Structure 1
Amino acid sequence: MRIATFNVQNMRLRRTDDGVHLTGARDMDEPATEGPAARAVDMIDRRLTAEILAEADADVVGLQEVFDRETLDYFHDRYLLPAGAAPYPHRDCLPGNDGRGFDVALMSRIAPKAVESHATLTPSLLGLDNPSGRNPDEPVFRRDCLSADVGPVTLYICHFKAPYPDPDVAWRARRLEALAVRELIEKRFAGRDDAYWLILGDLNEPGREERSERAIAPLLGGFSVDLVARMPEARQWSYHLEEADLYSRPDAMLASPALASDFPDTKPRFLRRGLGHDTARFDGERLEGVGYHRPHASDHAALVIEFEGL
C-alpha cells in the first residue's frame, strides 16, 4: 500500500461571472489574485498540484487545505485525471473548524471504512484539561483530525494550528491537538500492541522552536515512530519560508510501533519537483512550468511512503 500526504495550499472552487475555476496555490492575502492573468497562473498551479499527485501514484492520499467536497471532486475530475492519475473513486472532505473553510480530505482507491471527523470534540469530551484562558466549549482541533480505516491501517489525517500570530498561544493549541490525537488512538486501540495506525498531515511544527519541548511531543517518543526521521537529516524538510529563508518539515508520518517494527526499512520520500525555484535547497529537476515563486504545485512538498505487501 502506498500512502501520501500533501498540503495543497488553499484549494477552493470559485464561481464568478467568468465561470468556474480553482484558486491557485497561493495565500489569500497575496496581491494581484484576480483577473485573467492571475487566473491563468492559478490554472498552472493546479496542473502542477495534479502532476505531483500523479507522480506519487498513492493508493491513499491525505490532503490539507481543501475547501470542500465539491472542490475536491472538481480537482479530481478536471485536473488529476487529465494529469494521468488513476481514479480515486472514494473521496471525503468533511466540514472542519477553519474559519476560511479549508479542511482535510481523503482520496482512496481502496474503500475506506469508519471515516470520521473529530471537528466537534472539546477537551471535556476527551477527558483532557483545558488550557488556562481557553473557552472550554472551543473545539480541540483548529481544522480537524479525519480518521479512516483503509485496509489494515487506520489513518489520522491532521492539520494542526499554524505557529502564528502568537507563537506561545499556537504552541499550546498544537499541544492540545497532539494530546487529543493520542487520546483518540489510545481509546481506539487500548490493550493492543499489534495495531497498525498512521498519523499523517501538516502538524505545523516550525523550523525553530524557542521552547525546549516540541508541541507534538505527546505523539513522539515511545508512542509512535517518526518515519521521516529515517531519511538523511539533510533531506528532512518539506517547506520553505522565503522571507526568513527557513526550511522546516511540518509534514509528518508518525507510525504505530507495530507498523514501524514490521516495516523496519521502509522510509518515506518528499516530492519536491513542484516547489518554486526560490526554494533553493532543492537542486533537482522541476516540473515544466514551475516559476521562481509561482507557478508552483504548493508551498509544501508532498510526502509518500510505500508499505510493500500491506
Structure 2
Amino acid sequence: MPDIRLATFNCENLMMRCDFRHAGIANARDRLTEVDDALVAEQVDSVFDVLSEDDRTLTAEALAAAQAEVCALQEVENLVTLTAFDTRYLSRWETPYPERVLLEGNDSRGIDVGLLSRLPVSFYRSHARETYGTLGLKPPPRASVNDYAFRRDCLEADIVKDGRVLTLFVCHFKSMHGGRKRTRAVREAESRAVRLIIERRFANPAIEDWVVLGDFNDYFEVDGRRLRDHGLGPLINDGFAVDLVSHAVKDPYDRWTHHYSGDDTYGALDHMFLSPALAEKNPRPPVSIVRGGTPYRARRYEGQRFQGVGWNLPKASDHCPLAATLQFVGRPFVA
C-alpha cells in the first residue's frame, strides 16, 4: 500500500506583476490568465508585488517545511505566478516541483487554486463553470440557477504513485467577509456541490480513496467545542467524509490553522476531508500544522518562528500549512 504526503496551504494573495518582453505571448498583459502551459509560464519574467520579499520568502519556507509530495494551494493568481513562486522562492529549500496545475476560476480578485506535485498528475479538470442549474442544486438566497456554484473552483486531480491513483478535490470556499452567519448558505451550497461532483465521479464514494482539501473558510468546532452554525454539513454530517485533523489530532487546542486577531479565535479553516475508506486505512496518521511562519500576535503558538517573522508582518500567511502522510490503495493506473 503506497503512502503519500499531502499539504494544503492558503498562500494569502500570492500575486505579482510581470515583465512581458520575453514571454512570446501576443497581448500578454491581457492574456496572462490564459497561460496553462508550464513551459510558457517559465518564460514570463516576473516580480512579486502585493506582499514584500520577506513575506514571499516566509511563505515558501512554510510550504517547504511541510515536506509534501503534493501541495494544494489557494490564493494564487495564475500559472505564471505559481511557476515563479516554485522556481524562485521554493527552490531555496526544495528542488522545483515538476508538475504544476492551475486553471482559472471565478474569483473577482483573480485568486485561484492550484497544485504543485512531485508525483505524476494523470488527469485534472476544473469545475469552475458548473452552475447550480447544471448540478441540479437549489441556489442559496440571492442566487439563481445560472450562477456559478463555486466562488473560486473545485479542482479535481488524479495523482499517481506506485501504479495507484488517489483523487484530490482542491477547494477554496466563500470567505466569511460580511459575517459568518450571512455567508454560511453560500459555503453550504459549495459543500453540496463538491459532494455531488464526488458522487458523479464514483458510483460508491464510501469505498473509494479520495480527499477534499483546501481552505473552506469555516470551522465546525473551536477548541473541541462542536458548532452547528457552519456550512460544511453536506460533507461531514452523515459521515460522507471524515475530517482528518479532528480524526487524528487528539488535543483539540492544537487543531487550529488560522488565527483571527479581531476576536482572538483560533480555528481550523483549512481541512482535509477523507473518504470513509481512506479514513479507515489511516486511523491515526501523522499530521503536521506548520506554524513557524505565523505572526507573533498568534500568542497561543509558543514554538520557534522562522527568522524575520514579526508581530503582524512579515509573515508566511494568515493561514498555516496543513500536511499529512496517508496510506491509500486507490485505483490501478491505466495509461
Could you state the TM-score of these two structures normalised by the residue count of structure 1? 0.89
Structure 2 CA distance, aligned partners of 1:126 and 1:249? 28
Q: 1:298 to 1:128 in 2, by over 3 A?
A: same
Please list, as runs of the form range in 1=range in 2, the aligned pairs for 1:280-295 lying within 5 A after superposition.
280-295=299-314
The residue number in structure 1 matching 2:323 is: 304
Find 1:214's aligned residue among 221, 230, 254: 230
* Residue 77 of structure 2 corresponds to residue 74 of structure 1: no
Q: 1:279 to 1:211 in 2, by over 3 A?
A: closer
Give the SS at the match of 2:207: coil
Stretch moving more, 189-198 or 279-288: 189-198
Q: Is the 8 A contact 2:7 2:72 kept in 1?
A: yes
The residue number in structure 1 matching 2:48 is: 22
Q: 1:243 to 1:133 in 2, by over 3 A?
A: closer
The residue number in structure 2 matching 1:4 is: 7
Structure 2 CA distance, aligned partners of 1:50 and 1:211? 33
What whole-Å deviation, never above 9, does each CA across 1:43-89 have from its counterpart, x for those lacking one?
Answer: 0111111111211111100000000000001111110112x213211
Q: Is the 8 A contact 1:64 1:105 kept in 2?
A: yes
Give the SS at the match of 2:324: strand
Please list, as runs of the form range in 1=range in 2, the aligned pairs for 1:55-134 lying within 5 A after superposition.
55-82=65-92, 84-134=93-143
What whole-Å deviation, never above 9, does each CA across 1:16-37 have from its counterpart, x for those lacking one?
Answer: 8xx9421355xxxxxxxxxxxx
Find 1:171's aligned residue among 149, 168, 184: 184
Letter in 1 for 2:48: L
Where does structure 1 lack aligned partners over 5 or more consecutive residues? 26-41
Give the SS at the match of 1:81: helix
Structure 2 CA distance, aligned partners of 1:248 and 1:211? 12
Where does structure 2 lack aligned partners over 5 or more consecutive residues? 20-44, 330-335
Q: Is the 8 A contact 1:48 1:297 kept in 2?
A: yes
Deviation at 1:213, TM superposition (A): 4.1
Structure 2 CA distance, aligned partners of 1:266 and 1:115? 26
What percent of counterpart residues are identical? 39
Q: 1:212 to 1:308 in 2, by over 3 A?
A: closer
Q: Is the 8 A contact 2:155 2:169 kept in 1?
A: yes
Letter in 1 for 2:60: A
* Residue 275 of structure 2 corresponds to residue 256 of structure 1: yes
Letter in 1 for 2:11: V
The residue number in structure 2 matching 1:51 is: 61
* Residue 219 of structure 2 corresponds to residue 200 of structure 1: no
- Output the aligned Cα RMSD: 2.0
Q: Is the 8 A contact 1:227 1:267 kept in 2?
A: no
Deviation at 1:153, TM superposition (A): 1.2
What is the aligned length? 291
Letter in 2 for 1:161: K
Q: Is the 8 A contact 1:240 1:279 kept in 2?
A: yes
Structure 2 CA distance, aligned partners of 1:275 and 1:213? 27
Structure 2 CA distance, aligned partners of 1:93 and 1:255? 22
The residue number in structure 2 matching 1:228 is: 245
Letter in 2 for 1:260: A
Structure 2 CA distance, aligned partners of 1:181 and 1:48? 31
The residue number in structure 1 matching 2:296 is: 277
Q: Is the 8 A contact 1:228 1:267 kept in 2?
A: no
Q: 1:237 to 1:210 in 2, by over 3 A?
A: closer
Q: Is the 8 A contact 1:112 1:150 kept in 2?
A: yes
